[in-house]
Amino acid sequence: MSFAAISDSDPTAVDLLRLVSFLNPDGILIEFLQNGADAIPDDLRQIISHRIRFQKAVFELERFSLVKRGMDVEGHKMLVIHRLVQAVVKDEMSDRDLTKFHDMSIGICDLSFPKVWEHLEDRALSRLYIAQVMGPLLDPATTPETVVSADVMNRVGVFLKDEGKFVDSECLISKSFEICRHLLGQEHPATLMSMNNLACTYWDQGKMEKAAAQQEEVLKKCKQVQGKEHPNTLMSMNNLACIYWDQDRTAEAAALQEEVLKKCKLILGKDHLDTLISMNNLACTHSYEGRNMEAAALLEDVLEKRKQVLGKEHPHTLMSMNNLACNYRDQDRMGEATALQEEMLEKCKLILGEEHPDTLMSMNNLASSYRDQGRVGEATALQEEVLEKCKLILGEEHPDTLMSMNNLASTYRDQSTMGKAAALQQAVMENHKRVLPATSPYRLRRRATLAVHRSTLQRGFRINKRLHFHQFPPISTSNSFKSCFNS
């Protein structure tokens, strides 16, 4: 009855109500809505973009208690609509209107959600808008299978991966991959990009066999479709090498990384960001092999170039600091290592947040350095904090959580608190038995550790898991898709 009354008094308010019925019921940020207004047809866009006309339409909806105004804890203005109202409005719409308004909601998500989040303000805006985009993207009943929806799913999924929200990331990127495969075919660059990003998400969750199989398929198709020296092929080789590295297939990893670096220097140049990633990753493998002097030279070069090109607070610069610090530790240059790790930890907390996986890795590595210096009390406090946060964020069976338990057990042994150490180490073994196959390198290491009552701390060399595209490339093969992409 209210809907009918509004239709007579203010038809423009009806369209606004239909649109917000596809957006976040817990609070639609007006700023988010206005930032995506260009995805909306003219009449409705003019209402949303015009302050007085927008207020008039909202007032009409408020008069019938269909929406209400609100404000979040940070003072952002929003509209709140009950889920039941949304359901009833959708139920009254024709199939054509359902498609039309859901396409609008996806378009708003596409325009509003940042394309990159390298800077603090972009990352903060992306975090603010996550709740705004998840509903429209995950609505199983009305989410359209379009190239635009796949693009947004991929972009938001990559951001969630960067934030350490791996389960949600896998969900969105999997949907993006399926849509691309269905609409564009298995060998289209957009489909390959989604496959690559899905492999990286498996990797972050410790699903190493799935990650390796997926990335091998990406590399095979990239070589066939784009050629052996295409930048996307090189990034696929890089990512596969990193996965091999985590599987302890270091010889295969090193061979791939040397090939990638050689081709990157030749094709992209010595100072290109992708070349720096290849240098970093090869250096990490050299360190793992004990070739520390060669690794240090590469890592120092990478760090200086990243500071110049990306800035001192960029996540890749921070990873270079971490990797160089770990190398210094291996050379017993403890003062230099600790100074770098303390600086990195402070910047990670500031830029990424105190619960981001990379921040936890930084805390873990600093604790390891403290332990090596005999500062066992400080090491214990950091490792206990890391373990609690890993359990909360990653889960009790994630490889990083198990490594944190292992490291804390080692520190407890150094303090002669053998009961605590043995209990933790036994828990590590039991979890590995459940989670990983008997031949897993992780399992074999932990079994050896328990047998000799000694452990090797995770050195924390962090391979840069480069997701080569954050946006789909332009498409020129089909007129129906040309306008759907940003180049």
pLDDT tens-digit map of 223-269: 999 899 988 898 889 889 988 988 888 889 889 999 999 999 998 88
The pLDDT of residue 342: 94
Range 173-195 average pLDDT: 93
| pLDDT, tens digit (0-9, with 9 covering 90-100), for 390-444 | 888 777 777 778 888 888 888 888 777 788 878 877 777 777 666 554 434 443 3
State residue 410's pLDDT score.
83
Structural domain spans, the chain: 2-144
In the chain, the percentage of residues whose pLDDT exceeds 90 is 36
The closest alpha carbon to 475, from 272, 258, 180, 52, belongs to 180
Please give the structure tokens belonging to residue 444: 């074999």
Please write the tens of the pLDDT for every residue from 61-113.
Answer: 888 888 999 888 888 999 999 999 999 999 888 989 998 999 999 999 999 99
Quick: pLDDT tens for 365-380.
899 889 889 898 998 9
pTM of the model: 0.73
Q: Where does the pLDDT of residue 452 fall: very low under 50, low under 70, confident under 90, or very high at 90 and above? A: very low
Rounded mean pLDDT, 13-28: 90
Looking at residue 433, its pLDDT comes to: 61
pLDDT for position 326: 87
pLDDT (average), residues 319-333: 89
The confidence score (pLDDT) of residue 169 equals: 92
